[in-house]
Structure 1
């Protein structure tokens, strides 16, 4: 799964990597959580790429109210083409979600219920400066979507991150992981003409050498905590060190 991640790369660098022209003002964020706004790369009908702000937690166009989005932060790859919540977006509204890395938790020894957070990042920043999660986005219109003082029919744009089976690296922590697309596949994922069977073929675990992981401070557990120190190595206490099989 993917329930927390980092978006801290400067927007100018993202524009260079992903090929969009607009440069919105984005603050670095070291602990992005569900229902918060995230940055995502989309493609318009003319083939131009854009960086959009989308709320994390997909709200289908047919939803009665937007609260459903909090339960749809992830979409399983094995049902994304058929499930009513995702199939329309899978056909027509796909996006790339840039991430410097993401967090996962593993049960630790010692005190019951204690979990050790890990930060998962590209193993080779020169080859892959940022990760690109496969995502879907939707536009929902309704009175509850309008911010205070805005028109009641203003659309609420939301997104979900597609997950797949964990690769060998991630399986040490969890049986699911976000789909990390190879840069060579970014164009095909965004292209509305890509055949569904070819899209589904992209939704597979990343090769094991692509990612590396390291334990970090439990300060990341709080969604209110921010700062670059969250991703710095912080080995767990010796008597509670988790076993990586």
Structure 2
């Protein structure tokens, strides 16, 4: 399960790169003041891109996108955080979002039996400086000490079967979308089953962190 990601790219560059996608992007709560970081963990806030509110066509599909800062994970029925959500066999139409990152981490049993911590691996995109993980956002979430903007909203990362780049390290992988699929994911015009799939071989690069 993916419980840590990185977003080291400056948000200004991400915004400029997004402009090349021809998907209008607005920031209804102001441009986020978020530092570039190596580690974003469960319950941390980070940038989420979703279909723009009140920006729909006659079929109800969004024509633009908005960037907001939201918390990663919401409390599940047992109180444990829902930070990953299986996409397999589900028809996911509502609450789609994208989480821009430039890397994510997985952990494996240490090769050194004397090591106290698991081996840590960073996965980055083989072609792009940053990429988006498919997610879902939810409103009406009971979050203690939530900020005024986005109070009661949070997101989770979608997972699927692992592609060949991930399989040696984990039995699941987050859904890594191609940039050509961002619009179809956000506006709901493409079924989730067509996009929530393992990443093809060579999509991701891996390096040891420790």
* TM category, shorter: 0.7 to 0.9
TM-superposition CA deviations, 1:2-59 (whole Å, max 9, x none)? 1101012111122123342333221112111101112111112313311111111135
> Which protein has the bigger strand share?
2
- Out of 45, 49, 56, the residue aligned to residue 72 of structure 2 is 56
Following superposition, the deviation at residue 200 of structure 1 comes to: 1.3
Structure 1 residues without counterparts, runs of 5 or longer: 82-89, 218-245
- The offset of 1:74, in angstroms, is 0.4
Supply the distance in 2 between the matched residues of 1:32 and 1:73 (Cα, whole angstroms): 12
Q: Does 1:32 align with 2:40?
A: yes
* Alignment equivalent of 1:100, drawn from 75, 99, 102: 102
Retained in 2: the 8 A contact 1:59–1:139? no
Number of aligned residues: 193
Contact 2:89 2:193 in 1 (8 A): no
SS of corresponding position for 2:198:
coil
TM-score (norm 2): 0.82
CA contact (8 A) 2:126 2:205 kept: yes
Matched with 1:74 is: 84
Matched residue SS, 1:209: coil
Structure 1 residue 99: Cα displacement: 0.7
Q: Who is 1:115 aligned against?
A: 118
- What SS class does the counterpart of residue 103 from structure 1 fall into? strand
The answer to whether 1:210 aligns with 2:203 is yes
Alpha-carbon separation, structure 1, partners of 2:17 and 2:185: 15
Distance in 1 (alpha carbons) for counterparts of 2:32 and 2:151: 19
Corresponding residue number in structure 1 for 2:22: none
| Cα 1:107–1:122 shift into 2, 3 Å | same
In structure 2, stretches of 5+ residues that fail to align are 20-24, 56-62
8 Å Cα contact 2:125-2:205 kept in structure 1: yes
Q: Which residue of 2 aligns with 1:21?
A: 26
Deviation >6 Å, runs of 4+: none
Which structure has greater helix proportion?
A: 1
Give the structure-1-normalised TM-score.
0.71
Deviations 1:35-91 (A, max 9, x none): 11121111123133111111111358xx7xxx84x431000111543xxxxxxxx32
Contact 1:145 1:155 (C-alpha < 8 Å) held by counterparts? no
